[in-house]
Amino acid sequence: MNKVHPDAVSALQGLLKDGITVAAGGFGLCGIPENLIRALVDSGVKDLTIVGNNAGVDDFGMGLLLKGRQVKKVIASYVGENKEFERQVLAGELDLTLTPQGTLAEKLRAGGAGIPGFYTRTGYGTVLAEGKDTRVFDGTEYVLEESIRADLAIVKAWKGDKAGNLVYRKTARNFNPMIATCAEVTVAEVEELVEVGELDPDLVHTPASMWIASSKDATTKSASSFAPPAVVPR
């Protein structure tokens, strides 16, 4: 299977439809797959459930999808820098599930590992635990959190080879490794596309054994992976 695509649009072709759940890598605006987000915006797909650490800002990142009224629900840990997001939530136009940052990271990791749920002390005894199962282990109370699985994951990597192996750069790694594994299909946007064998295997953060496709765009090189990964050069 060819894992390399010429651009973000072609990498997402056939993967988008209204109502799907999309998990996006990044922390604030660091390490976000901005070209893939723009392709989502331009596609006109709507009624999306977006999962990520935050909701971007008004005119960049995931905020562009909110601005276009393409999102029906957001699952995130921080949303304080997006005025349009705030307006939609307060107006009852957008569903929001706020999740503690560490819990969100583990929900994504568990989803990628095939673990349906886990118990955590975080949130026990608060509104976050309402309606959830609670248990006592060794005299300490815990609350059950279910893992997250998405239909599509979009991530940003520093380097990726044509087989779909990915390397993230410094703090831009953030949520990307967890999100890369939590979906049925993953598309990775990479800054540098290299040949198979050029990456030091000890430095690979997301191995290609987890994927199936990739793409490249005219503006930036990107690699996309489908249920093991694919690559899209830009």
Residue 51 is predicted with a pLDDT of 98
The answer to whether the CB of 182 falls within 8 A of the CB of 108 is yes
Question: At 210, is the pLDDT very low, low, confident or very high (cuts 50, 70, 90)?
Answer: low
Answer whether residue 184 is part of any domain. Answer: yes
Structural domains of the chain, count: 1
220 pLDDT higher than 90 = no
Answer whether residue 124 is part of any domain. Answer: no
- Other CB atoms within 10 A of residue 73 CB: 14
Which residue range(s) make up the domain with 107? 8-114+149-232
Answer whether residue 171 is part of any domain. Answer: yes
Alpha-carbon Rg for the chain, nearest whole angstrom, is: 18
pLDDT tens-place string over residues 18-65: 999 999 999 999 999 999 999 999 999 999 999 999 989 999 999 999
Residue 83 is predicted with a pLDDT of 92
Answer whether residue 1 is part of any domain. Answer: no
Residue 81 is predicted with a pLDDT of 83
- Preceding amide of 228 cis, omega within 30: yes
Q: How far apart are CA 148 and CA 139, in angstroms?
A: 28
Answer whether residue 136 is part of any domain. Answer: no
pLDDT tens-place string over residues 166-180: 999 999 999 999 999
**Span 191-204, mean pLDDT?**
94
The label of the residue with tokens 């054994």 reads 209
Q: How far apart are CA 135 and CA 107, in angstroms?
A: 18
The CATH number for 190's domain is: 3.40.1080.10
pLDDT tens-place string over residues 115-159: 999 999 999 999 999 999 999 999 999 999 999 999 999 999 999
Question: At 1, is the pLDDT very low, low, confident or very high (cuts 50, 70, 90)?
Answer: low
The answer to whether the CB of 62 falls within 8 A of the CB of 24 is yes
Residue 219 is predicted with a pLDDT of 37
